[in-house]
Amino acid sequence: MTAVYLNSLGAFLPGAAVPNSEMEDYLGLIGGKKSRNRAIVLRQNKIRTRHYALDKNGAPQYSSAGMAAAAVRRAVESSENILDDITYLASSATLGDMLVPGLASHIHAELGLDAIEIANFQSVCASSIMALKAAWLQIRAEEHQCAVVSGSEFASRYFRPGFYENSRIYLENGEIPLEADFLRFTLSDGAGAAILENRPNAHRPSFKILWIDIRSYAGRFDSCMTAGIADGKVWSEFESPQTAAVQGGLMLVQDFDLLKKMIPVWISHYLDLIDLEKIDPDETAYLCSHYSSHSLREEAIALLEKTGAMIDEERWFSNLPEKGNTGTASIFVILEELWREKDLKPGQKVLCHVPESGRCLNGFMMLEVV
């Protein structure tokens, strides 16, 4: 089958970098009070700056589709292509701009392209790897010669006070639970994109995609990161959206205990790929791992060191402290910086890892510099 090359990357992070001290200037104060959990969460995730698509009045300055289109344009500008070379678009996001239609349609329209094939992938962080695999297979099967994949998130709009202040849990307790506040101070906004082709770049390094391996473990776990459910009912089962919101059905929440139980499963996937001779830790030049919090990285490293299959930390590449956790956009934002900043050499292997806590999903992608 046709070889596929990741030839260009683009990233779009809206507005100026927002330091920790200014986060609630953008997100707003729930009940007019500063969060008691902010310092705890930031101490765990070690994020210092991030970007928001809101202004300080909470007004949207961009859309998820608009940010994705901006990232695509930047990827094209850094490529050996023009926009009209793209015939396939795969988008990924946790939540798009509208319930219907899908985000890819809006990105297509924002780009102003003629008729092309599109595909939508909606999950949590690993939807990026799903979209990348779809585009990779499209080119391998010779259905297309040039494809673009985007990941975009506009998480901050769901963290405004109005999503919490009328909920029963807030009215009863005067604050929201840590499992909701954790995500308010962990997730941020942005977009990334990658150009895939059936030939490498002529004048700058490319990444040859060697393989992509995605595994869902949903049969073993309950939902861990959720929105749209409360009291065991999905939001559409309530008598109205307002009732669902009062019951907490529109809050984005994270189950910490369940999340920690997923880490050994993700590591077992990694070890399985070593056994299958898809990964050689000693031959991996860079590990681009998307993790939502530095504390989770530390837990993963503690387990990896016991296996004897640890990739040295000096070869881990992450920009979480400066760029924040942009969900499905993160792997593109990480790779774009690696591609732009590092002196990549032919033959180097780059392992990409995107875990997803939604209901336990894990994705790996192996790239080779050519």
pLDDT (tens digit per residue) in 171-218: 999 999 999 999 999 999 999 999 999 999 999 999 999 999 999 999
Q: For every one of its 370 residues, what pLDDT tens digit does the chain have, with 9 covering 90 and above? A: 899 999 999 999 999 999 999 999 999 999 999 999 999 999 999 999 999 999 999 999 999 999 999 999 999 999 999 999 999 999 999 999 999 999 999 999 999 999 999 999 999 999 999 999 999 999 999 999 999 999 999 999 999 999 999 999 999 999 999 999 999 999 999 999 999 999 999 999 999 999 999 999 999 999 999 999 999 999 999 999 999 999 999 999 999 999 999 999 999 999 999 999 999 999 999 999 999 899 999 999 999 999 999 999 999 999 999 999 999 999 999 999 999 999 999 999 999 999 999 999 999 999 999 9
Amino acid 39: pLDDT: 95
CB atoms near residue 266 (< 10 Å): 23
Amino acid 84: pLDDT: 97
Residues facing 233 on adjacent strands: 230
Domain that holds residue 325: 208-219+253-369
CA atoms of 123 and 60, how far apart (whole Å)? 23
Amino acid identity at 280:
D
Q: Are residues 168 and 265 in the same domain?
A: no
Stated as kind and residue range, the H or E segment containing 259 is helix 256-275
> Which one-letter DSSP state was computed for residue 370?
-
Nearest to 352 by CA among 117, 136, 203, 198: 136
As given in the structure block, the two tokens for residue 17 are 């970098």
Are 208 and 370 a contacting pair, CB within 8 Å?
yes
Q: Please, what is the Cα angle at 320 between 314 and 324, to 5 degrees?
A: 175
Q: Which among 205, 239, 261 is the end of a domain?
A: 205
Residue 130, domain member (yes or no): yes
CA atoms of 131 and 119, how far apart (whole Å)? 8
Q: Are residues 179 and 214 in the same domain?
A: no
Amino acid 156: pLDDT: 98
Backbone φ and ψ for 36, nearest 5 degrees, come out as -75, -15
Helix (H, G, I), strand (E, B) or coil at 230: strand
The tally of domains found in the chain comes to 2
Residue 245, domain member (yes or no): no
Amino acid 1: pLDDT: 86
Nearest to 266 by CA among 368, 152, 358: 358
Amino acid 233: pLDDT: 95
pLDDT (tens digit per residue) in 100-147: 999 999 999 999 999 999 999 999 999 999 999 999 999 999 999 999
Q: Are residues 214 and 180 in the same domain?
A: no
Q: Are residues 143 and 182 in the same domain?
A: yes
Q: Are residues 362 and 266 in the same domain?
A: yes
Nearest to 149 by CA among 162, 136, 168: 136
CA atoms of 167 and 246, how far apart (whole Å)? 4
- Helix/strand/coil percent split, the chain, to 5: 40, 25, 35
Q: Are residues 52 and 177 in the same domain?
A: yes
Q: Are residues 283 and 313 in the same domain?
A: yes
